[in-house]
Amino acid sequence: ISREQAGIEATAAAAETRRAAEDQVRASQAPIEKNQAAAARLASQVATLQQQWQLQKQLVDQGIKAPKDLLSLEQQMDSLKSSREGLLAENVQLRARSASTAAGNKVNLASVNSTTEVTSSEGGRVVEVIKSTGDKVNEGEPLIRIERTAADASEFCGGEVHALVYV
């Protein structure tokens, strides 16, 4: 693969990774919006029950209704409030997870497009280039093979290939 083609493929892969990350963030928005709509409906139902409770309270104060009739409305309101609070708490968790995913995707995208200068503590002649500019490499992969210069080589390894440079 030519360096130019490798660069094009790396750019395409980075764009695909970016699209997948954006799709994942958009997908996490759907349950958040659904929960917000459900929480709004529950708030509306609570408001309606509060109005009914006030009317029932007036009837209880006038002696027309028994106080136990208010208890049922209070229990319904408490149940709806609890459900609404649960949905809102779930939204907080979903938003935190979405933010964490987005941050992780940014880190992954940065690592896909990162370039690092590599140096070697070994001197000598490069006898093989294993990876070249634009190639994607992972930690631990060899990049080049080095043969030590004649003066140093005989001292350590009899002139054989002496070092591999790793990421």
State the 10-residue block means of pLDDT for the chain, 167 residues long.
Answer: 65 75 78 92 96 94 90 94 94 84 62 60 75 71 73 54 50
pTM: 0.52
Question: How remote is the C-alpha of 155 from its chain's centroid?
Answer: 52
Strand 161-166 to strand 142-147: parallel, antiparallel, or no bridges (unpaired)?
A: antiparallel
Count of other CB atoms within 10 angstroms of residue 134: 17
Residue 129: strand, helix, or coil: strand
Residue 123, phi then psi, degrees to nearest 5: -100, 165
Q: What is the CA radius of gyration of the chain?
A: 33
